[in-house]
Amino acid sequence: MKKIVIPILSFALMFSCLNAAFAQMSKQEKKEWKKKAKAYSKDLESLKTLVEENQSLNSQVSKLSADNNNLKSRMSDKDAKVGELEEDVTKLRADLSASKAEVRKLKTTETEASPTSSGTRMVKGVVFKVQIGAFRNKDLSKYFDNNENFSGETDADGMQKISLGQFTDYWEADTFKKYLREMGVRDAWIVPYKDGQRVPIKDVLEGVVAE
What is the tens place of the pLDDT at every residue in 11-68? 555 555 555 555 667 878 877 877 777 777 777 777 778 778 888 888 888 889 888 9
Q: Which helix (H) or strand (E) is 153 found in, with range? A: strand 150-154
Q: Which residues of 78-113 are buried (b: 16+ CB within 10 A; e: fewer)?
A: eeeeeeeeeeeeeeeeeeeeeeeeeeeeeeeeeeee
- Residue 5: the pLDDT is 47
Q: Are 117 and 177 in contact (CB under 8 A)?
A: no
Domains of the chain, by residue range, sit at: 2-62, 116-210
DSSP 168: S
Q: Give first-to-last CA distance, the chain, whole Å.
A: 114
At residue 208, the pLDDT reads 60
Q: Tens of pLDDT along 117-174?
A: 444 555 678 899 999 988 888 788 787 777 778 888 888 888 888 898 989 899 999 9
Quick check: pTM over 0.75?
no
Least confident of 40-44, 81-85, 197-201: 40-44
CB 115 within 8 A of CB 122: yes
Residue 191 to residue 201: CA distance in whole angstroms:
7
